[in-house]
Amino acid sequence: MSSELSNVIVFIIIAVILFFAIKNSIPHFKGEGACCGGGGKGEVIKPKKLDKVIGVKKIGIGGMHCENCSRRVQNALNSIDGINAKVKLSRELAVIKLGREIDDDVIEKAITDLGYEVKK
């Protein structure tokens, strides 16, 4: 095999790899793709209206990179009965209103099960 033919084959392989890499990255750069496993526009679980707020907790969360990350955390927290949560990506913070006594371990587990870090 001549060196020119080898160079052409290598060039074609590199061109194909670059084509697919760029093609699959374009939606992400437009903000349409998913960053951390999930669709770019996922369903949001609305925070529940609580009859009575017995406490408010602020929890720092590490590892969130995009709106999809914060939406995942917010959905997980709002799926717990007695919690009304809003997650602020820019501050890496969850503001949680409690409608009943909920152990901190339950809240932390909901966050860490998604792969994020609870900052203390």
Q: What is the pLDDT of residues 84-97, one digit of tens each?
A: 999 999 999 999 99
Residue 73 covered by a domain: yes
Residue 14 covered by a domain: yes
Number of domains in the chain: 2
Residue 46 covered by a domain: no
- Give pLDDT tens digits for 49-63: 888 999 999 999 999
Name which residue leads in pLDDT, 105 or 34: 105
* Per-residue 3-state assignment (H helix, E strand, C coil) for 39-89: CCCCCCCCCCCCCCCCEEEEEEEECCCCHHHHHHHHHHHHCCCCEEEEEEC
Expressed as residue numbers, the domain containing 114 is 55-119
In this structure, the answer to whether residues 23 and 60 fall within a common structural domain is no
